[in-house]
Structure 1
Amino acid sequence: MTITLRRANPDDAAAFARIMGDPQVFPGLMQMPHTDAHSWKSRLTDTCAPGKTDLPLVAELHGEVVGTAGLHPVGPHLRRRHALVLGISVAPSAQGKGVGSALMAAMCDYADNWVGALRLELTVYTDNAAALRLYRKFGFEVEGTFKGYALRDGQYVDAHAMVRFHPNPPRIGN
């Protein structure tokens, strides 16, 4: 089974809507139910526009998009240019097959070796055990916990702020 990674584009909007709209996936994300391809096409068009520094990726198995990931600036503040925020989603049919690990490896490689980001940041619900295992596998650590972080299915749930620091920050010379 070969996982193919490539840069996402607006034509992937239906796959983003399918994966992130899946009732087994969206409760683990900050997405809302009933997402649609039109909204995702707009978001991907913006994210993929020339001059944008975001890195949207998709993972394919047998020609079907089964995972998404992205690295994004944390905001417009110049003093936070050293940090990127990461997001990832994997279709239920592809979970446990290495898709999340392939996407995470690509995100970390890009951040470390091509962008020189010092911090990779993400937020994950405290009860998302599979995601926590994946993030820890790639060196993420909990920096803090947000109590009552988000409303999910009628209940306020907690989330961890996690960070991964560049393991070998770039230097000049030897």
Structure 2
Amino acid sequence: MSYTIRRLGPDDLAAYRAIRHEALANHPEAFVSTAEAFAQRSDDDIRRSLEALTVFGAVLADGSLAGINAFMRNDGAKENHRGWMIQVYTRPNHRGTGLSRALVEHLVNHASQHVIQLHLGVWSENEPAIRLYQKLGFETYGTEPRYLFVNGRYIDEHLMVRFLDKAPGA
């Protein structure tokens, strides 16, 4: 499998819309947004999101996306040292190939040019993602109980951080 990781822009709108909708529809427990609400967003609204966030995609040779993630930086003067990794999703047929790791490492490298710590939230039952994040130097610092209510059940979210100005595990 051959792919390149790059920042997505307005020309990637259709591919981004497709993979983001897939992520929200197939894993409602992993995201605050819903597939239904996302489907209602206009192309202009999604274009603005692609400009406001730094969205990375693993782009296959045919132009489709195998995975995405996004970087968001806090704006306030007292918290602009912190950033967030959000919208993490890899299509099922590309999981276990190293693509997810490459996407996260790419985002971490980008974030290290802008912030000194990178945060994320992950569904407490998503063991593969948690293991990957731990391997890449993220540590759990808390759990938000009942973070979401999805399909009749409460979803807890682990909060994780990686301090980019320290060696992982230091």
Q: Shorter-chain-normalised TM-score: which range? A: 0.7 to 0.9
Describe the SS at the equivalent of 1:72.
Answer: strand
Q: Which residue of 2 aligns with 1:69?
A: 69
Describe the SS at the equivalent of 1:80.
Answer: coil
Instruction: Give structure 2 stretches of 5+ with no counterpart.
Output: none
Residue 29 of structure 2 contacts residue 123 of structure 2 at CA under 8 Å; is this kept in 1?
no
- 2-structure distance, mates of 1:101, 1:43: 29
For the aligned residues, what is the CA RMSD? 2.1
Q: Which residue of 2 aligns with 1:172?
A: none
Which of 32, 35, 38 does residue 34 from structure 2 map onto?
A: 32
Describe the SS at the equivalent of 1:81.
Answer: coil
Identity percentage of aligned residues: 27
The TM-score, its normalising length taken from structure 1, stands at: 0.82
Number of equivalences: 162
Instruction: Give structure 1 stretches of 5+ with no counterpart.
Output: 170-174
How do 1:1-174 and structure 2 match up within 5 A?
Answer: 1-22=1-22, 23-34=25-36, 35-36=38-39, 39=41, 41-49=43-51, 52=52, 54-63=53-62, 64-74=64-74, 76-87=75-86, 88-112=88-112, 114-115=113-114, 117-168=115-166
The TM-score, its normalising length taken from structure 2, stands at: 0.83
Distance 1:32 1:90, change over 3 A: same
- 2-structure distance, mates of 1:42, 1:149: 30
Q: What do the CA deviations read for 1:85-117 (whole angstroms, capped 9, x no partner)? A: 1021111222222221111111111122x22x1
Distance 1:20 1:153, change over 3 A: farther
